Amino acid sequence: MPETRGESRWRRILRQIFVTGPEYPSRRIARRVTFITLLGLSAVFGAMCGLMLVYSIDLPQMEDLARYRPNTTTELLDTHGRVFGSFALERRVVVPYAAFSPVLREAIISIEDKSFERNWGVNLVRAVGAAYRDLNSNGRSQGASTLTMQLARNLFLSSEKTFSRKLEEIFLSVQIERRFTKQQIFELYANQIYLGHGTYGFEAGSEFFFSKHARDLTLPEAALLAALPKGPEAYSPLKYPERALRRRNLVLSEMASDGKITEQQAEAAKAAPLGLRLEAPVNSVAPYFVEEVRRQLEKEYGVEQVHGAGLRVYTTLDLDLQLVANKAVLDGLATYERRREWVGKLQNVVRQGTDLGSYRHPDWTQTVAKGSYIHGLVTELSPRKIVVKVGAREAVMTPDDWAWTEHYSAERFLQVGDIVYVRIEDCPPEGALRATLQQDSGAQASLMAVDNSNGEVLAMVGGRDFALSQFNRATQAQRQVGSSFKPYVYTTAIEAGEKPTDIVVDSPTSFPTPNGWYTPHNYEADYRGPMTLLSAFAESRNIPALKLAAKYGIRKVIETAHRFGIVSNIPAFLPVAIGSADITLAEQVGAYSVFPNDGILIEPHTIRKVVQADGLPLDHTPSGVSEVISVETARTMMQMLQAVVRQGTAVAASQLNHPLGGKTGTTNDYADAWFLGFSPSVTCGTWIGFDNRQSLGKKETGAKAALPMWMSFMRAAIADKPDETFASAGSPKKTLAVPMNSGAAPAAGAKPKDDDESDPDAPAGKPKSADVQ
């Protein structure tokens, strides 16, 4: 074709490429192919750029990752700085790169991303394979991606299995590699990855599975943890130990293949067992206390911050005293149950259609140790032998271990499939446990102790078994208090001018009420005639207390109780004076601490301070402190409360040979038994009863059922204070560890309920009575 004047350069090129001519046909064909190829590549490149633009618009910026802080565990510390509990949306312990042992890093890289140190975040061959498997399988194919791609997916992307999501993962990985060093990427990955059982990151996984830090892992242990990201549930060493062992050994083989370890090291590690040493269950030492702390923290700071911000909560708990409290309550319940004799009426899982091999009791999450009380499943039975399954282990009992039941043959009172309650007497590392048969008939108990000088709650037990019942009987159960209410009656009388040496007549008496005459009687059903107020109080006589309440007015007595921090509703009728009101143990303990504190009420509290992950403290509401009664009134009442221990209903406590005071309480039909008491430094209260308010049994008084638990605890609480004494008349006022707040709210910080409200539990037509001790 002839060339025309003014023909453009591009037209000449196109004409040369596409217009055929007699000369050089092969060159023209080559030119055409080259042009078409370049045009196609340009189109592909343009499409890829478009895709990158589209998919990168909504991707997180790398500045977000630089500021990223994963959810971390909030830890609770006791007064000595020991961690005893935690809260977490995700159980995670964030540590720096150096805290991961070299053997762990090598194990992870060998099984998850061999080219990690060399690649730029994406292995194209593996990425294509991963995308294909994501789209054609229901399982996770995490191991097919690089560590950087796994990090991008876990941090920012959904679990949706599409090519678009895989492209986003690739783009993100490239950006991460450009912004962060390999050490930073590994650190982010190792703190983020899920390892099963609610555990995130290799430090938390190491603590959970092996009770050690990640820096201290052995080769077999490191290989097992490195095996888990591929399938945390599928390879769980708890659920599928054989499968986990095979996967661990594959990691060891890969490490040997990569030259990270020798073949001899690999074979020696493969011969090792899984070697799990599971961490003690979280919050198992003081679960009721932990729940109280959680509720308060969530109220002040919100759920998200409490469970995910990695707070350090410095609590008032003394871990050593808490362990003593746990033992005191469980031993006290066991002693009571043996006095009750064998009740039986056991749950039987076989009759319920449950397979023995698949049954799991809620108790079995706790650590089995010598002295622990736990429920077990009877799996074998003969006249002279009982075999009980306790979690993953077995306990054996012989006739001496159930002799208290007065049954010679086990087959006469037990069956295979029965759920029994046992105490572990010997716990060897291997082999059968030795246990004694106990009884859980439903009786419950609670204990709470505070430091008198500052109101800090040192120990709290809210029931027999938190795994079975989270209801806190120390703070939530309102129970009739019996004669433990009498200090408020006598305080009212002392404030009105009465003296401990004044005489009151203990004789048959009737009191007029709107519903007719009320004729009470003493616990002993006898009358002592004229006696001093001190003796009447120490011996817990009912008639003198009622006479004092009638003389000064029951409403005045109730007003006194509210000043002491009692916020529960107290109906205004006379039997309240001898304990027919329902009050919580926590209220009573706080109130009783007023006496050794020279009349000062410090609101019991569980938290000292809260610190953020960066070390900065959070604002925390201080405890209320107020003067309730005068020093003179407090010290006069101390004379009477000490007389209870020296010569009254709690004389058994005098064997502790320490300055002590307190008051017993027993209610109608022995439904509740109490003891509230104190040393100069600690106030403690104990309660025992049934949730359904059935009788504990005849003569199960506060002195018999509740006082022994109190004594067991106080023996430890006063052990390092042999020289402490109560303030005497004329001595300076006691100095407290907290400042006074004028007009502070009463303990528990709640407004007292209307005293005129009717009591729903009071029988119609007559006042609710409490024939108490």
Q: Which residues are catalytic?
A: 112, 483
Give every CB contact of residue 321 below 8 A, 6+ residues apart in sequence. 449, 458, 459, 713, 716, 717
| Percent of the chain as helix, strand, coil, to the nearest 5 | 40, 15, 40
Alpha-carbon distance of 252 to 268, in angstroms, equals: 10
Identify the CA nearest to 443 among candidates 421, 419, 425, 428.
421
Residue 89's Cβ-count burial label (10 Å; 0-12, 13-18, 19+) is middle
Report CA 713 to chain centroid distance, whole Å: 22
Q: Structure tokens of 716? A: 């430890």
Helices 9-18 and 25-57, interaxial angle, to 10°? 120
Q: Structure tokens of 741? A: 């707040």
Alpha-carbon distance of 274 to 252, in angstroms, equals: 13
Please answer whether residues 747 and 497 qualify as being in contact, where contact means their C-beta atoms are separated by less than 8 angstroms: no
Please answer whether residues 424 and 369 qualify as being in contact, where contact means their C-beta atoms are separated by less than 8 angstroms: yes
- Going by their DSSP bridges, the two strands 682-690 and 443-451 should be labelled as antiparallel
With vertex at residue 571, the alpha carbon angle to CA 570 and CA 575, rounded to the nearest 5 degrees, is 100
Alpha-carbon distance of 678 to 734, in angstroms, equals: 15
Match 């050089």 to its residue by tokens: 24
SS3 132: helix
Sign of the four-CA dihedral 490, 491, 496, 498: positive
With vertex at residue 202, the alpha carbon angle to CA 201 and CA 206, rounded to the nearest 5 degrees, is 125
Alpha-carbon distance of 405 to 344, in angstroms, equals: 10
Alpha-carbon distance of 725 to 635, in angstroms, equals: 13
Residue 76's Cβ-count burial label (10 Å; 0-12, 13-18, 19+) is buried
Identify the CA nearest to 592 among candidates 707, 401, 380, 450.
450
- Going by their DSSP bridges, the two strands 516-518 and 600-602 should be labelled as unpaired
Please answer whether residues 694 and 441 qualify as being in contact, where contact means their C-beta atoms are separated by less than 8 angstroms: no
Q: What is the DSSP string of 229-284?
A: TT-TTTT-TTT-HHHHHHHHHHHHHHHHHTTSS-HHHHHHHHHS-----PPPPTT-
Alpha-carbon distance of 34 to 28, in angstroms, equals: 10
* H-assigned helices in 286-345: 287-301, 303-308, 319-340
DSSP state of 551: H
